[in-house]
């Protein structure tokens, strides 16, 4: 039997929600990852250290006793965040970054930042306090084609941010285009990117050809094959600027299979297995460990994890859903076969 054993990985971009959904999803992440950067886009958003600490306790309480998992908290930037909030957060051992959602860009981003230039004093404070900025890089302009929103964000905002704050560590979250890969490659060592399994595995045909498939709908939207190939090349290149961040984003099946379905792919049930499939197909299984277990930790200046996880080349079928029937969540590749299995 073919197996691979790698150092215990981290998920550097994860949504776990709260309440009943949290209880369903957290065991999936905790069985494969030692730590995860937790997104703050709850309703209402997590904007203060005090809220993040309460949320952290709620997450820890949902982790099964036999598993060891550490949530790494982030705060949600709004138009009312202050320089003092940044200083306060930077002092907390549990707060690892601030997340910038352009207002209206995605799920629960209504309280996000409407005027990006207006928060430059906050970015200066983050640079000075050396706390990373995580960016959902899409413009929200209705006139901008949804497939162009990441590229236009880079040209309109990101280049200006990196020019003005050269010392600010930035993660361009869930990159989806060749242009974003190129931007990260051309930027200094403080600029990195996460890449999701869905953007590595699928192009937009998976979402739109032969009928609309809502479980492939996420933001930024999956793009053309040309872009997928650029992402695979970046992820499997061994460049430390690119690391694992699933953006696993659970929504109830009923809210995705709807006339106006929510954005987000649920991938925590099989995250590492999905990435292994990508790396194997690219002939780069030897690069999976650093992408999954080293580069993210190094970027966040966290110690690399001790312990290992092992994957086996065994086919298994992904269930049609997880959770109680009225709270069911449909996973990525539901009812399909995966080729790698976490032991
Ligand atoms: O598809 C997405 N879902 N993209 C995001 O940026 C947010 C996420 C969510 O929270 O559901
Ligand atoms: Zn996300």
Domain boundaries, the chain: 11-306
d(CA 145, CA 177): 14
**Local structure of 28: helix, strand or coil:** helix
Instruction: Output the residue whose Cα is nearest ligand 1's atom 4.
Output: 219
**Local structure of 243: helix, strand or coil:** strand
pLDDT at residue 107 in the model: 82
* pTM for the whole structure: 0.98
Substitution candidate for ligand 1 out of 196, 199, 219, 253 with most atoms within 8 A of CB:
219
Which of 181, 187, 148, 142 has the alpha carbon at shortest distance from 168?
187
Element (H, E) at 42: none
Give the other-Cβ count within 10 Å of 101's Cβ. 27
The torsion angles phi and psi of 267, rounded to 5 degrees, stand at -130, 0
pLDDT at residue 147 in the model: 98
pLDDT at residue 38 in the model: 98
pLDDT at residue 308 in the model: 98
286 as an active site residue: the answer is: no
Instruction: Output the residue whose Cα is nearest ligand 1's atom 3.
Output: 264
Q: List, for the chain, all residue ranges whose pLDDT scores fall below the cut of 50.
A: none
Beta strands in 225-333 (DSSP E): 242-244, 308-312, 316-317
CATH number for region 11-306 = 3.20.20.140
Question: Measured in angstroms, how far is the CA atom of residue 62 from the centroid of ligand 1?
Answer: 22
Report in angstroms the alpha-carbon separations of 49 from 54, 81, 176, 341. Answer: 9, 12, 31, 37
Token output for 164: 């003005």
Which of 67, 62, 69, 130 has the alpha carbon at shortest distance from 98?
130
Angle at 135 between CA 218 and CA 258, to 5 degrees: 20
List 10, 11, 85, 247, catalytic entry: 247
The torsion angles phi and psi of 89, rounded to 5 degrees, stand at -65, -40
pLDDT at residue 135 in the model: 98
User: Residues lining ligand 1, judged by CB closer than 6 Å?
Assistant: 15, 41, 106-107, 136, 218-219, 249, 263-264
- pLDDT, one tens digit per residue, over 214-257 is 999 999 999 999 999 999 999 999 999 999 999 999 999 999 99
Substitution candidate for ligand 1 out of 104, 106, 138, 266 with most atoms within 8 A of CB:
106
pLDDT at residue 1 in the model: 79
pLDDT at residue 306 in the model: 94
pLDDT at residue 24 in the model: 97
pLDDT at residue 326 in the model: 86
């Amino acid at each position: 039997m073919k197996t691979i054993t790698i150092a215990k990985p981290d998920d550097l971009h994860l949504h776990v929600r709260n309440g009943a959904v949290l209880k369903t999803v957290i065991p999936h992440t905790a069985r494969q990852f030692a730590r995860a950067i937790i997104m703050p886009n709850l309703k209402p958003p997590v904007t203060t250290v005090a809220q993040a600490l309460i949320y952290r306790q709620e997450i820890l309480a949902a982790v099964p006793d036999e598993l060891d998992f550490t949530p790494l908290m982030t705060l949600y930037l709004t138009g009312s965040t202050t320089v003092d909030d940044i200083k306060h957060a930077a002092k907390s051992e549990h707060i690892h970054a601030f997340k910038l959602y352009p207002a209206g860009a995605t799920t629960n981003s209504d309280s996000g930042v409407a005027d990006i230039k207006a928060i430059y004093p906050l970015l200066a404070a983050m640079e000075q306090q050396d706390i990373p900025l995580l960016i959902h890089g899409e413009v929200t302009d209705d006139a901008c084609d949804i497939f162009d929103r990441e590229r236009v964000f880079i040209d309109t905002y990101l280049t200006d941010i990196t020019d003005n704050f050269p010392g600010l560590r930035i993660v361009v979250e869930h990159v989806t285009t060749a242009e974003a890969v190129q931007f990260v490659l051309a930027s200094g060592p403080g600029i990195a990117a996460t890449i999701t399994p869905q953007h590595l595995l699928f192009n937009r045909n998976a979402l739109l050809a032969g009928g609309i498939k809502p479980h492939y709908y996420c933001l930024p939207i999956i793009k053309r094959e040309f872009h997928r190939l650029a992402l695979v090349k970046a992820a499997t290149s061994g460049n430390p600027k690119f690391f694992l961040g699933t953006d696993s984003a659970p929504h109830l099946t009923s809210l995705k299979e709807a006339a106006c379905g929510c954005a987000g792919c649920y991938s925590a049930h099989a995250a590492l297995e999905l990435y292994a499939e990508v790396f194997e197909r690219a002939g780069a299984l030897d690069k999976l460990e650093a992408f999954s277990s080293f580069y993210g930790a190094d970027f966040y200046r966290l110690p690399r994890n001790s312990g290992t996880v092992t994957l086996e080349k065994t086919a298994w079928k992904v269930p049609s859903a997880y959770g109680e029937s009225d709270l069911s969540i449909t996973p990525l590749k539901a009812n399909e076969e995966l080729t790698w299995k976490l032991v």
